Amino acid sequence: MVVGRQSAREAPISELVQRLRDRGWRLTAQRRVVAEVLAGEHIHLTADAVYSRAQRLLPEISLATVYNTLNELVGMGEVLEISTGDGPKRYDPNSTATHHHLYCVGCGELRDVNPEGTEGLALSVTQQHGFELLDVDIVFRGMCPRCRAAAARAAMI
């Protein structure tokens, strides 16, 4: 007797895939899995992580395709490219809501945050130095609770 749900692992269509569909983006199988693995909250994956997740869904996908697709999605403004200062760039599908980031220097965890007082954040004309501003991304750096606990344990030994 079969107990429980059927095995079908039909993940609900991710928000990003839906947005791309709405834009009429050509969703080949390869491009689709790249968009699919960029789903969920606080998702900030390196290109390598996108690649290994995508490979689980589509083993024949190439790293070059992953890079090309990520670059295209960033160019379209559908995926944000986040620099943490150290380590590789991260890719963030949460491009529709303005947000900033909280970064753990211990383990590299990156979370979305909305700091108070950033709504009116602006540079005066002189401080823009003739730049045309595209966006702003604030990264708060620190140690997450797990890394702090680990550091405290290490200090006790």
The answer to whether residue 104 forms part of the interface with Zn ion (CB under 5 A) is: yes
**CB nearer to Zn ion: pick between 34 and 144:** 144
83 Rama sector, left if φ>0, alpha if ψ -120 to 50, beta otherwise: beta
* AA letter at 10: E
The answer to whether residue 47 forms part of the interface with Zn ion (CB under 5 A) is: no
Using CA atoms of 39, 42, 46, 52 in order, give the dihedral in degrees to the nearest 10. Answer: -40
The answer to whether residue 81 forms part of the interface with Zn ion (CB under 5 A) is: no
Distance CA 78, CA 46 (A): 16
Residue in the block written with tokens 């490219």 = 81
Distance CA 4, CA 23 (A): 37
The window from 29-37, 51-59, 122-130, 146-154 that contacts Zn ion (CB under 5 A) reads: 146-154
The window from 20-28, 33-41, 58-66, 84-92 that contacts Zn ion (CB under 5 A) reads: 84-92
The answer to whether residue 78 forms part of the interface with Zn ion (CB under 5 A) is: no
The answer to whether residue 150 forms part of the interface with Zn ion (CB under 5 A) is: no
The answer to whether residue 92 forms part of the interface with Zn ion (CB under 5 A) is: yes
The answer to whether residue 43 forms part of the interface with Zn ion (CB under 5 A) is: no
State the sign of the Cα–Cα–Cα–Cα dihedral 65, 97, 21, 44: positive
The answer to whether residue 49 forms part of the interface with Zn ion (CB under 5 A) is: no
**CB nearer to Zn ion: pick between 17 and 61:** 17
Nearest approach in angstroms of CB 49 to Zn ion is 14
Distance CA 38, CA 33 (A): 9
Residues forming contacts to Zn ion in the complex (CB under 5 A) are 92, 94, 104, 106-107, 109, 112, 144, 147
